[in-house]
Structure 1
Amino acid sequence: MSEVETTGQKIARSLIANGVDTVFGIPGAHMYDFNDALYENRHKLRFIHTRHEQGAGYMAYGYAKSSGKPGVFTVVPGPGVLNAGAALCTAYGANAPVFCITGNIMSHLIGQGRGQLHELPDQLATLRGLTRASERIAHPTDAMSVMSGLFTRMKSGRPGPVAVEAPWDVFGQKGVAEAPLIGEEASPPLINPADIAAAVALIKAAKNPLIMVGGGAVDAAEEVLALARALQAPVTAHRSGKGIAPADDPLSFDFVAGFDYWRTCDLLIGIGSRLELQFMRWRWLPPGLKTIRIDIDPTEMVRLKPTVGIVADAGDAASAVLNELGEGRANRESELASFKDRARAAYESVSPQVPYLDVIRKVLPRDGFFVEEVSQMGFTARFAFPVYAPRQYVTCGYQDNLGFGYNTALGVKVANPDKCVISVSGDGGFMFGVQELATAVQHNIAVVAIVFNNSSYGNVLRDQRQNYQGRYIGSDLKNPDFSTLAESFGVRAWKVSSPEQLKTTLEKAIEIDAPTLIEVVVEKGSETSPWPFIHPAAPSEG
């Protein structure tokens, strides 16, 4: 270790000490001393440079969401931060441990409003509105403590994005070299035994319990399934919780089957979930319903007050409940199978989405990753695409933002180089991040991009046709030939127009183990709406 080192070097060593091995981003003048520190540590920190700051942020998100490890990106201040802002919003909404490293103008000019290069009025306040915590390193002596504190905040309790900024001049300032500090995850809240007893009493009185899991339960799959088997209660999820209960487990319900069962449910057990499905999308509560919520974030118990709330780690609380339950219930697998069969029969009518998704699922290895995006395929996949393990279905959560899919998939592949990663986008969303085809080629990131081209923003087009008497505005898209465009980047590409063609082409694309793209031509406006399954009518509505 040298006697002195720059702030940039301190930040780089802090990343390494805290288990980071990859940084996504774009270099720039404010960041040169940090960028140079990345070069010095290039054998320990892989730097993947992107073609847009939003791409860097989403790749860090995909890395974090699929692995559970910190996803780190670096961008210049001002416009760079703002360009990456959508990715930070997504990380905040989907509770992903993403770390943004940026700069600022010279220390003595911050807050002066002089119009310096990349100056953003109160950038730190902007970042704090998009993250769990954001701090400034004002001097080299601050670097290690600020970085470790942010790592702790990012990983503790409800995880989420954090950011650090350093002024232009501070990155190159030298201070005494010191050992990096490790940002340890804070201990989870202690479980209140009275809450466990109250939950067990509700469970014993219930006849038809339903377990709803979200992203907060991805590391508690074993405990959740053990509880579900003891209760013989189906487990359902919306997006982030898919795969916690493997789709082929008898107790695993897609949410179409979940809504069917919901009609007679008398106890909802939410584990690491905001319960968006039940309270925002299904919009109908069975008479006399009781609720148990297990969540590490105490504010959730205020936002949506349950009958019994347990503030705790998901796995710890599920195990505590199971330990107090005693003897399990009689097997209901044959009874529950009928719900799964009815659901599948119902949504087979969603065409051509379901036939295409069936093909993708058949070809994608069981341990492969599926990255959705806001599109007709993405919406349908939430209920019609089986997932077999946590983190394998990567979603943008409630932000539902275009441009998420392909960029995020690149980060997923970097975090999981030995796994197959498929990105599914619409034509509109894919164009938000098409430039990252160059990143995929330059760094040989072997994602298979499937672009469903219906020459429109499909949801907008449908809504304008159905609700606004065909007064179309801004929903029609004139697109490039995606396969030819991809080939111009050096990406192997194909164009298909049927599920059968997609199957054979997808098998070929996966075998190549290089960046590939498949354009699927879909007739404009031809898709069956998936929304009746996402926002189903309540029983009283027919």
Structure 2
Amino acid sequence: LLGPEPGPVLLSIPYNVQKESVDENVLEQIHFPSQTALRHTSPTTDLVALLRAAQHPVIIAGHGCIQTGAREIVAAFSKRFNIPVTTSLKAKGVVAEGTALSLGCLGVTSNGDAYRYLVDHADLLVFLGAGFNERTSYLWNAKLLANKKIAQVDRDDAQIGRVFQPDVAICGDILAVMENVFLSLEADAMAPKSLDRLEDHQAAIAPSSNEGRTEQPEAFRLIQLFFGELAQRFPHNALVFDDNIVFAQSYFDVSDRNHYFPNSGISSLGHALPAAIGARCFSPDSPTFAILGDGGFQMCCMEMMTAVNYGIPLNVVVINNGTLSLIRKNQFQLYGERYIDCDFVNPDFSLLAQSFGVQHYRIETEAALNILFDHADLTGGINLIEILLDKHAFPRYLSAR
């Protein structure tokens, strides 16, 4: 609310805080300063010193890297000095995922690989424009930060030290700071860090038994293959808007030339479809995908007619399992499988597509998936793509809500 830049503000209040009682008299004691002075002005030489001393540093890149145009410098820095990078959900693709130095996405709904590396091996965490919120921090799991040096670089002074106390805190433009640090380490001829632990970690990643790792049963194979094909067939310039986020966080390797837009955890069901339409108008040559659950799609499905009316090419991908998966998952885990108001009946999506005058693809086999990517016009057409999923299959991470 008091930030230096105008615009919308999202107030995210943790669930435990929402349940607390508050004495209304405390409101009289709150003082809102007219201007916030910068409090964090550590010199970049302090960050340089931490990086030189660390054996196994890790960069945690947040959306601030994208906002400040720092994607290229972060990728170059990582490659030059052999420093692995993990990202927040909104920062997927800051460093091309699927490459050797990418740990993938950090967060409670991810597959847990980055979590395990940070806990077991990292001795320095460099936060670049990452807020370390409830999702990214695994509900503020203390193991992630224990026994590590911490550096934080953010252009918003209010973000620094808000969740954890960094050893080095720099408020400034991430691009400018990292360029300065890069040049300093080059001038000092700092050798690249050893990749032994990273290579051992990647070779020894266990399946679903690891703490923090999301289960990946065979039931998700079609979704996993879909995201794999999407990444391979559209390695650059694709726009992907995602309501679901859970599957993409683990299965979609976003390249540094693609753009991924999740729902940011606000659970704004159905936003992906109108958002994708707007983005395609702005970037008319970019293959565009809106990925939704069937519950979210039913909240906004008539927006497809907007795409038809204006001839806006679009791929709407609906995960069809006949349920609100997050609600069903929580009722499975926390309420003894006492399911209430989470299941529903879907329309016939083929007839719905026919009524819109768009192409329909129903994916329930690998052969059907191959037909989609081999023959569908995913760049210039309007397609309704339906991927079948068993409603009893969902990643069984615990959301703790």
Q: For the superposition of Structure 1 and Structure 2, which TM-score range results when normalised by the shorter chain?
A: 0.7 to 0.9
Structure 1 pair 465–287 and aligned structure 2 pair: CA distance change class (3 A): closer
Aligned to 1:294: 153
Find out whether 1:449 has 2:316 as its counterpart.
yes
Aligned to 1:319: 179
Cα deviation, residue 242, structure 1: 0.9
In 1, Cα distance between equivalents of 2:78 and 2:205: 20
Structure 1 pair 254–416 and aligned structure 2 pair: CA distance change class (3 A): same
Cα deviation, residue 230, structure 1: 4.0
Structure 1 pair 300–528 and aligned structure 2 pair: CA distance change class (3 A): closer
Find out whether 1:242 has 2:111 as its counterpart.
no
Find out whether 1:372 has 2:242 as its counterpart.
yes
Alignment of 1:127-526 (within 5 A): 192=41, 194-218=42-66, 219-255=69-105, 256-263=112-119, 264-276=121-133, 277-278=136-137, 280=139, 282-304=141-163, 305-325=165-185, 326-330=188-192, 332-333=194-195, 335-343=197-205, 349-363=216-230, 364-367=233-236, 368-374=238-244, 378-389=245-256, 392-511=259-378, 513-526=380-393
For 1:197, the aligned partner's letter is T
In 1, Cα distance between equivalents of 2:328 and 2:148: 38
For 1:369, the aligned partner's letter is L
Question: What secondary structure sits across from 1:473 in the alignment?
Answer: coil
Judge conservation of contact 1:423–1:450 (CA < 8 Å) in 2.
Answer: yes
Deviations 1:330-383 (A, max 9, x none): 454565244345458556834433542333332441012322113xxx302112
In 2, Cα distance between equivalents of 1:348 and 1:507: 30
For 1:287, the aligned partner's letter is A
Question: What secondary structure sits across from 2:317 in the alignment?
Answer: strand
Deviations 1:279-308 (A, max 9, x none): 636452353222111110010114133221
Cα deviation, residue 391, structure 1: 5.5
Cα deviation, residue 274, structure 1: 0.6
In 1, Cα distance between equivalents of 2:320 and 2:271: 17
Deviations 1:101-145 (A, max 9, x none): xxxxxxxxxxxxxxxxxxxxxxxxxxxxxxxxxxxxxxxxxxxxx
Structure 1 pair 473–394 and aligned structure 2 pair: CA distance change class (3 A): same
Please report the TM-score for the alignment, with normalisation by the length of structure 1. Answer: 0.59
In 1, Cα distance between equivalents of 2:64 and 2:217: 30
**The structure with more radius of gyration:** 1
Question: What secondary structure sits across from 1:223 in the alignment?
Answer: helix
Cα deviation, residue 317, structure 1: 0.7
Structure 1 pair 356–89 and aligned structure 2 pair: CA distance change class (3 A): farther
For 1:303, the aligned partner's letter is R
Question: What secondary structure sits across from 2:97 in the alignment?
Answer: coil
For 1:203, the aligned partner's letter is L
Judge conservation of contact 2:364–2:387 (CA < 8 Å) in 1.
Answer: yes
Structure 1 pair 244–514 and aligned structure 2 pair: CA distance change class (3 A): same
Judge conservation of contact 2:222–2:364 (CA < 8 Å) in 1.
Answer: no
In 2, Cα distance between equivalents of 1:462 and 1:352: 15
Structure 1 stretches of 5 or more lacking a match?
1-70, 72-87, 94-188, 536-542
In 2, Cα distance between equivalents of 1:269 and 1:354: 34
In 1, Cα distance between equivalents of 2:269 and 2:217: 22
How many residue pairs get matched? 347
Structure 1 pair 221–511 and aligned structure 2 pair: CA distance change class (3 A): closer
Structure 1 pair 390–316 and aligned structure 2 pair: CA distance change class (3 A): farther
Structure 1 pair 415–352 and aligned structure 2 pair: CA distance change class (3 A): farther
For 1:514, the aligned partner's letter is G
In 2, Cα distance between equivalents of 1:267 and 1:334: 16
Judge conservation of contact 1:235–1:245 (CA < 8 Å) in 2.
Answer: yes
Structure 1 pair 239–350 and aligned structure 2 pair: CA distance change class (3 A): farther
For 1:266, the aligned partner's letter is D
Root-mean-square deviation (Å): 2.8
Question: What secondary structure sits across from 1:280 in the alignment?
Answer: coil
Structure 1 pair 242–484 and aligned structure 2 pair: CA distance change class (3 A): same
Structure 1 pair 252–89 and aligned structure 2 pair: CA distance change class (3 A): same
In 1, Cα distance between equivalents of 2:199 and 2:316: 34
Cα deviation, residue 511, structure 1: 4.8
Q: Which has the higher helix share?
A: 1
Question: What secondary structure sits across from 2:336 in the alignment?
Answer: coil
